[in-house]
Chains A and B, each alone.
Chain A
Amino acid sequence: MIKITNLHKNFGDNQVLKGINEHIRQGEVVSVIGPSGSGKSTFLRCINLLEQPSQGDIEIEGQSITAPGACVDKLRQKVGMVFQNFNLFPHKTVIQNITLAPISLKLMTPAQAEEKALALLAQVGLSDKANAYPASLSGGQKQRVAIARALAMEPDLMLFDEPTSALDPEMVGDVLDVMKDLALKGMTMVIVTHEMGFAKDVSDRVIFMDGGYVVESSPPDELFSHPKEARTQAFLSKVLR
């Protein structure tokens, strides 16, 4: 489904990604872990071109998105993204946040979009918040709305950029439950996370990144219990105490 070949990204002289090769299959749930500054978020943001790769190729469903003239907006409609800081639209109600894109892009009529939005809000457990403004929601609620907003576009792939890092501890569970539910439904997901327990439970595969490289990539049991690389061992021994 996603094929990433020799992906490089520089910010000026700072090389953040130094040649990443990855293949993510349909329905696969991949967690990306690693220390801060290892390039995990940049890697994720390259997949929907929020960062323009400096070099290398990314193919989604057989189409190169890095080729000149690739239709970036069309691609992004099929790739949902959830941000650490939610990034809900503060001047729109919850339901308007969710329906805005499908209506603006004429993918659904307003009635269809609202029906869809209400179903999604039920799915994330926030049916009663449809007409609330984001400012009145807790962090966990905001993040669940953000997930619903991304799902309203009926994406084939969901990217999560540290979705629980800005949440109070007691809110984390609600968001992870929604994500778990999504994984069980067969959504292809790439998740940058610091929640090791969650990565272990939900992922089909865990990628450990450090210094702009993928150091190790294996099923969670293997990676967490028997890491092959010394750097993975060192990282895990610090975070799994």
Chain B
Amino acid sequence: MIDAINTSLFSPIGEDGMIGILLILNGLKVTLIVTFFAMLLGAVLGIGTTFMKMSSKWYIRFPANLYVGVIRGTPVVVQLVILYFIVLSALDVDKITAAIIAFGLNSGAYISEIIRAGIQAVDKGQTEAARSLGLSQAITMKSIILPQAIKNILPALGNEFIVLLKETAVIGFIGGVDLMRAGEIIRSRTFEDSVPLFTCALIYLFLTYSFTFMLSKFEKRLKQSD
């Protein structure tokens, strides 16, 4: 056991490789960077897509619906590979940027659904009351609907963050070295299976668990204002 830990984590991997634990930490950094920026990109895309979907004009709704439909209907790993090897192949885009774009595009579709559901969960009577006072659609959205919708949206966004964090484990498909890929590299070069894989799993678990914990604290604070 001690030997296995030593070989996988504290010895150079391969002939001139990094020490295992450093490889894993570098991978973790990639995982976190991709998750964070993909979430940001996803939020921007999600908000834009939601507004497009609520438009009264079909030619604005249509691309938004198509985008969400295609993204939700295909596996994220397929999207990632197509984006990196086909769509972005002519451009000189590095793997991390490509991954951020791919996961951001993916997440944007789900986030737009989260926002839409959050807005639709606000009672229709709220809109009617606001409009009956002579408030415009924009003011109604800003002052009445969104502040209430946000309470439905934030917890679901937290979940999306956790899902995204785990989904980035397929970055290896385009040759990026994230946490999972780092574990795989160690495994293939040292022939130790358990230590690198369980190390990865524990790190993922630690990240998602602590995030869930923070999220539940935050949700309790949101509920206090009710």
A88-B131 Cα distance, complex, nearest whole Å: 13
**Residue of A81, A91, A100, A105 touching B132 (CB-CB under 8 A):** A81
How many angstroms from the CA of A234 to the CA of B220 in the assembled complex?
55
A241 at the interface (CB under 8 A from B): no
Given A91-B148, A104-B139, A104-B143, A76 contacting B133 (CB threshold 8 A): yes
A48 to B132, CA, bound (A): 7
Q: Are A87 and B143 in contact (CB under 8 A)?
A: no
Q: Is the CB of B133 within 8 A of A150?
A: yes
Contacting residues of chain A (84-99) with chain B, CB-CB under 8 angstroms: 85, 87-91
Main DSSP-derived SS at the A contact region: mixed
Within 8 A of B (CB), among A64-82: 73-81
Contact status B132-A85, CB under 8 Å: no
Kindly state whether residue B92 has any CB partner on chain A within 8 Å: no
- B contacts with A: majority SS: helix
User: Would you call B22 an interface residue if the criterion is a C-beta within 8 Å of the partner chain's C-beta atoms?
Assistant: no
Q: Number of contacts between A and B (CB, 8 Å)?
A: 63
Q: Complex Cα distance A91/B149, Å?
A: 11
Q: How many chain B residues have a CB neighbour from A under 8 Å?
A: 19
Within 8 A of B (CB), among A196-218: none
Which residues of chain B are near A78, meaning CB under 8 Å? 134
- B125 near A: Cβ within 8 Å? yes
Q: Which of A73, A87, A100 contacts B125 (CB 8 A)?
A: A87
Asked if A50 lies at the interface with its beta carbon under 8 angstroms from chain B, I say yes
A77 to B136, CA, bound (A): 10
Interface bits B164-202 vs A (CB < 8 Å: 1, else 0): 000000000000000000000000000000000000000
Do residues B131 and A76 form an inter-chain contact, with CB atoms below 8 A?
Answer: yes
- Select B134's contact among A85, A87, A101, A146, beta carbons within 8 Å: A101
The answer to whether B129 and A83 have CB atoms under 8 Å apart is yes
In whole angstroms, what is the CA distance A99 to B133 when docked? 11
Distance between B153 CB and nearest chain A CB, rounded to angstroms = 14
- A79 contact set on B, CB distance < 8 A: 132
Instruction: Give the distance to chain A from B163, nearest Cβ to Cβ, in Å.
Output: 28
B136 touches A89 (CB 8 A): no
The residue in chain A whose Cβ has the minimal distance to the Cβ of B142 is: A104
B129 to chain A, nearest CB (A): 4
Q: Which residues of B contact A76 (CB under 8 A)?
A: 131-134
Any B CB within 8 A of the CB of A153: yes
Chain A residue numbers with a CB within 8 Å of B131 are 50, 73, 76
Contact of B128 with A by CB under 8 A: yes
**Interface residue ranges, A against B (CB under 8 Å):** 48, 50, 73-81, 83, 85, 87-91, 100-101, 104-105, 135, 146, 149-150, 153
| 19 A-B contacts (beta carbon < 8 Å) | A73-B136, A76-B132, A76-B133, A77-B134, A80-B132, A81-B128, A81-B129, A83-B128, A87-B125, A87-B128, A87-B129, A89-B129, A90-B148, A91-B225, A100-B133, A104-B135, A104-B143, A153-B133, A153-B134
